[in-house]
Amino acid sequence: MSMQVPAGNLLQKINYPSDLKLLNETELEQVCKELRQYIIDVVSVNGGHFAASLGVVELTVALQYVLNTPYDQLVWDVGHQAYGHKILTGRRDEFHTNRIHGGISGFPKRSESIYDTFGVGHSSTSISAALGMAVASHYKGETDRQHVAVIGDGSMTAGMAFEALNHAGIENSNLLVILNDNNMAIDPNVGALKEYLTDITTSKPYNRFRDDIAHVLAKLSSIGPDAFKVAQKLEKSIKGTLLKRSNFFEALKFRYFGPIDGHDVNHLIKVLKDLRDIPGPKLLHCITVKGKGYALAEKDQTKWHAPGLFDKITGEIKKTKYDKPQPPKYQDVFGHSIIELAEQNPKIMGITPAMPSGCSLNLMMKAMPNRAFDVGIAEQHAVTFSAGLATQGLIPFCNIYSSFMQRAYDQVIHDVAIQKLNVVFCLDRAGFAGADGATHHGAYDMAYMRCIPNMVVSAPMNEEELRNLMFTAQQENMGPFVIRYPRGNGVMVDWQRPFKAIPVGKGRKVCDGDDVAILSIGAIGNEVIKATAELNAEGYNPAHYDLRFVKPLDEALLHDVFKNFNKVITVEDGCIEGGMGSAVLEFMADNGYTNIQVKRLGIPDKFIEHGDQPELWADCGFDANGIARQVRNMAEKRNVNTIAS
């Protein structure tokens, strides 16, 4: 259950931005202190993302103080950093329910508030969305309307952000892009843009003369009607000379301002008021510290991105303690297993788009730094980069969260599958992803991958099978190979067993039975095992088959099932539309199996909100109780004593 905490004296009076505007600017530093403390207080006892919102407290207060939201359109990229925004826009009293089943979303969400102008969860969408809003306002004659996109330097590494900047530069729209530069996404940022921004922010000549430039340009106003053009040329010349390169953003026809201190709320307000009156596309470069105001978060920003519950005084992150060894997380099984495989096979490489700690490829990056790559928030590039490696005989394990892989679908088809390249796609967070909600659930990968020619699509039921599928996928001439697995812990303590190859397209019988056959794929099969144990005690005796592969299907296994059972239940932690159950129905139709009752359990044809995985399985009817309930509806009950004998 979530816990409500009291807000500070000023913050408790602010329900909406209109209340914030009633305060004097001299009071805003105190508002920032109280807002930062409130986020610390609530997240420490209820969980959630943490460091990102602490880093933009002053920027959030300044934006809401200067802008006329919600008429002015404020778009947050990703949304990890939008907690302060939510608190100041009518949701302070609900904030303790953040990311909890039935509570408010951890991300901006249009259906939740008029102040949430654009729903987010994935990165790098803010500039495109804000530009669309700005062009629409220009078309409608709303010349007084402001449009602001707040984007981090990590999100700026994605191709979509560059595409949007390139377009925005030629539109005479009222658009302000605020670059929140803290040199961090979840893990430290990588790439040339990161180096470029670092050069700008650390250039002593530029920072020394920046204010002098403004003074010189102001005096040029007396030159006459061409003063503005002269001023622009001089400004670019000085910046280019001091930084020894042309400004990247100004090359895209953005007027560049900064860098400025993103933690000086009063200066931010002054700058934002000035920028409000400057037409055309503009970029304000703010330097911030992720985790600002909480020393431990400032020191270890990756660890404190989303730490879970913690003691705000001591900084101790609260973890459940167990008397016995516990099964590992699937991501850690991947992380350790790829190192083992790479030690045996020099062709193996590891690739991730900006999630090395989330998918545990950071273990390989440390152990084998020349064979593991974080390519930044760039899923499309990650896939085609992997394809390039594969053309040279290497075997890339491209680890991308299931919902993020959606962003690189064309590359999977065009660059990998058509060319039959041996790229191993490890789809972490497949199925329900938990508190991140609809933007992060890996609901669709089986449906969108199984329709692609040349593709193998698999899902392990436990940690040992994950290892064995990884071993299988790196054998010679395997072609494109998908391994999907869920977020969270597995089911095996003794998981680090010798590798064994699994025949591609071969499932297995978990337990024999009669009357009803349950077909499952992936880790959700462990819920079937729980249901079967409960049902056996009640006098029901369903059979259970683990398909392991949705493409190719184990046709021999399915023929055996449909020749011996006329009642079948399919169970998957994925979308019902086009998923494993659909594949089974297609097999039945193609092979003339009729008069068989089939019930498909899985994620229904709607977007499911946030909550713990067991809560969401239960909501959708495919947890152990839901599976057992469906068997009872279909099966004949046997005499328990007869079964036991």
Query: Catalytic residues, which ones?
Result: 290, 379, 407
Sign of CA dihedral 310, 314, 315, 316: negative
Residues 6+ apart with CB under 8 A from 123: 77, 78, 152, 154, 155, 158, 185, 377
Contacts within 8 Å (CB) and 24+ apart, 307-313: 307/50, 308/47, 309/44, 309/45, 309/46, 309/47, 310/44, 311/44, 312/40, 312/41, 312/44
What is d(CA 421, CA 455) in angstroms, rounded to the nearest whole number?
10
Has 85 been labeled as part of a binding site?
no
- Residue 70, Cβ density class (10 Å: 0-12 exposed, 13-18 middle, ≥19 buried): middle
What is d(CA 397, CA 348) in angstroms, rounded to the nearest whole number?
7
Angle at 377 between CA 372 and CA 381, to 5 degrees: 70
CA 38 to chain centre: 25
- From residue 42, alpha-carbon distances to 2, 6, 99, 447 in Å are 9, 9, 12, 38
Has 154 been labeled as part of a binding site?
yes
Has 636 been labeled as part of a binding site?
no
Has 46 been labeled as part of a binding site?
no
| Contact criterion met (CB below 8 Å) for 69 and 276 | no
| Contact criterion met (CB below 8 Å) for 549 and 507 | yes
Has 181 been labeled as part of a binding site?
no
What is the β-pairing status of strands 567-575 and 517-520? parallel
Has 155 been labeled as part of a binding site?
yes
Element (H, E) at 19: helix 17-20
Has 294 been labeled as part of a binding site?
yes
CA 259 to chain centre: 28
Residues 6+ apart with CB under 8 A from 589: none
Has 167 been labeled as part of a binding site?
no
What is d(CA 469, CA 505) in angstroms, rounded to the nearest whole number?
11
Decide: helix, strand or coil at residue 51: helix
Query: Tokens 């654009």 identify what position?
Result: 118
What is d(CA 2, CA 42) in angstroms, rounded to the nearest whole number?
9
Has 122 been labeled as part of a binding site?
yes
Question: Which residues on adjacent β-strands are paired with residue 603?
Answer: 575
SS3 percent helix, strand, coil of the chain, rounded to 5, is 45, 15, 40
Has 381 been labeled as part of a binding site?
no
The binding site for thiamine diphosphate consists of 80, 121-123, 154-155, 182, 294, 379
The binding site for Mg(2+) consists of 153, 182
The binding site consists of 80, 121-123, 153-155, 182, 294, 379
